[in-house]
Structure 1
Amino acid sequence: MKPYLFSTSSHPDTIHINPLEISFLKPSIQFSQYDYLILTSKQAVKALSQYNYNDYNTKQALCISKATAQSFKEARGDILEVGSGYGDNLSGIISSYPKDTKWLYLRAKEVASDFAEVTRDCGYCIDESIVYKSSCSLNIRTIKIIQKAILIFTSPSSVKCFLKYHKLNEDYKVIVIGKTTAKALPTDIKPIVATEPSIESCLKIIDSL
């Protein structure tokens, strides 16, 4: 039986349930005021497509993960650096640049990491612009899950939406893409955390179950 994948990205070896409905916003942004962009999701990359490409095409981006970096490359973007997949680790990268470097963080309305605030409190220049918001999808409300299923969650939001409509049964095997997603689970649930923040890494775990 294929595992259930709760993610905005699909995979052919899973039963894919998109847990979120994304609404893109378009706040006014003066890209010329910034040295670099910060991107922490594929949705942030998609939100950029609402703007004139020539307004931001010279801006390199600090991307949270390889997947986000690949998405930005496909959108004709130039990569500055790629993080390890966790928002909290971006502070270390940002702090390696001069404090007067001006960063623009393109983000969701709700975020799991406060790295921008923490780094800003240390004297670095980071502005934030909310370019999309999410809500729980109809798909996650109506999904029927079999007994002894394997569930893969790829974000805290996917966990939150699942728990809004379902319970995690004791016979489920739960795999999460990273530590931040694991923290969104109830404390009595002991998930298996992927060694790398990717769907492929989550799927490799199944072979050892």
Structure 2
Amino acid sequence: MNINIKEFIKSLNLIFYEFDSKENSLIKDVDYSNKHTKLEFFKITYYLSKERIPFNVVKDKTITFKETSFNIKEKFSIFIENFKNNSKNIFLLNDKKVQWAKNIPLFKITFINKEIDFTKYDAIVFTSKNAIKAINSINKNWKKIPSYVISEQTAKLVKDLDGKLEYISKTKHGNEFAYEILNLLKGKKVLYLRGEEIVSDFLEIMKDNSIDCKDEIIYKNSFNEKVKKVKIPKNSKIIFTSPSTVKYFFKIFSWDKSYKAISIGKTTAQYIPKDINTVIADNTSFKSCVNKALETN
């Protein structure tokens, strides 16, 4: 039986495992290790076994579809590739640790305490992990309300905190996400939990389509005044993960034409100066951004 592995994996609707086509493997997000990751692991192995698709489980519960025995030549090749990756100058403009990337923490997040009565709402919309972290520190009753989220990265946190995950966007971008969930939200009282600044027209789209949607600002993103200005070598890859990272980067750094810009998504890419050639990551994870930086010449 000929099965397209990539399409088969897509049909499983995974959250914590991501298919790496280069490695021909399903890689678990190491930032999460909970009952949900275990259930997803069992789900994957069950369906692979059911379809008689050969696989191996290796380090960190990675599921690989390639032979796991390595000869000396292959091991040496991996060593050389890792050495090259380690020598590359890839800069992630936050404090999130991702292999092969160096950090420049340009911003800080401050939570804003709010009194929210969740019994008034039938649905919560999240377009940011920071909103989830903020509301979880303020009022844990959000977990009782179905959550509609913009990406798998946001969904992971909802699940990890035992929230009620209802829907994950297929488009992963602000305006498209809004149109995507219009029919799902009709007749519901919706709460959009967000940051002080938003770059999409989400609220306007809700209003124009007669969706009963209220928003609450529960965190703010501000420039990190304590950030140390580092020397960014020529030919570096700069990863922009939000419009604010674009703004803060150009507040203290000048762009060298040898640099390469990597954007986490289409919305952020729109805020990068038009004369800078920008490559967009395959999905909205920091790891995907770093992988794209490694691939980009």
The aligned residue for residue 152 of structure 2 is: 66
The aligned residue for residue 49 of structure 2 is: none
Deviation at 1:15, TM superposition (A): 0.2
Q: What SS class does the counterpart of residue 144 from structure 2 fall into?
A: coil
2:258 maps to 1:178: no
Q: What SS class does the counterpart of residue 133 from structure 1 fall into?
A: strand
Q: Which has more radius of gyration?
A: 2
Q: Distance in 1 between matches of 2:270 and 2:244?
A: 11
Deviation at 1:8, TM superposition (A): 5.2
Q: What SS class does the counterpart of residue 61 from structure 1 fall into?
A: strand
TM-score, scaled to structure 1? 0.92
Q: Distance in 1 between matches of 2:144 and 2:119?
A: 9
Q: 1:207 to 1:24 in 2, by over 3 A?
A: same
Q: Is the 8 A contact 1:7 1:153 kept in 2?
A: no
Q: Which runs of 4+ in 1 moved over 6 A?
A: none
Aligned residue pair count: 208
Q: What SS class does the counterpart of residue 92 from structure 2 fall into?
A: strand
Q: Distance in 1 between matches of 2:234 and 2:204?
A: 42
Q: 1:141 to 1:100 in 2, by over 3 A?
A: farther
Q: Distance in 1 between matches of 2:219 and 2:291?
A: 31
Structure with higher RCO (Cα < 8 A, 6+ apart)? 1
Q: What SS class does the counterpart of residue 169 from structure 1 fall into?
A: coil
2:229 maps to 1:150: no
The aligned residue for residue 28 of structure 1 is: 115
Which of 2, 7, 19 is the equivalent residue of 2:106? 19
TM-score, scaled to structure 2? 0.66
Q: What SS class does the counterpart of residue 152 from structure 1 fall into?
A: strand
Deviation at 1:107, TM superposition (A): 0.3
The aligned residue for residue 295 of structure 2 is: 207
Q: Is the 8 A contact 1:64 1:85 kept in 2?
A: yes
Query: % of aligned pairs identical?
Result: 32
Q: Distance in 2 between matches of 1:182 and 1:140?
A: 23
Q: Distance in 2 between matches of 1:170 and 1:192?
A: 15
Deviations 1:102-126 (A, max 9, x none): 1101000001111122222111111
Q: Is the 8 A contact 2:179 2:205 kept in 1?
A: no
Q: Distance in 2 between matches of 1:8 and 1:63?
A: 23
Greater percentage in helix: 2
Q: Distance in 1 between matches of 2:115 and 2:266?
A: 34
TM alignment of 1:32-47, pairs within 5 A: 32-47=119-134
Q: Is the 8 A contact 1:7 1:155 kept in 2?
A: no
2:223 maps to 1:127: no
Q: 1:138 to 1:11 in 2, by over 3 A?
A: farther
Q: Is the 8 A contact 1:107 1:129 kept in 2?
A: yes
**Structure 1 stretch 185-194 or stretch 7-16: which is displaced more?**
7-16
The AA in structure 2 aligned to 1:138 is: E
TM alignment of 1:73-92, pairs within 5 A: 73-83=159-169, 84-92=171-179
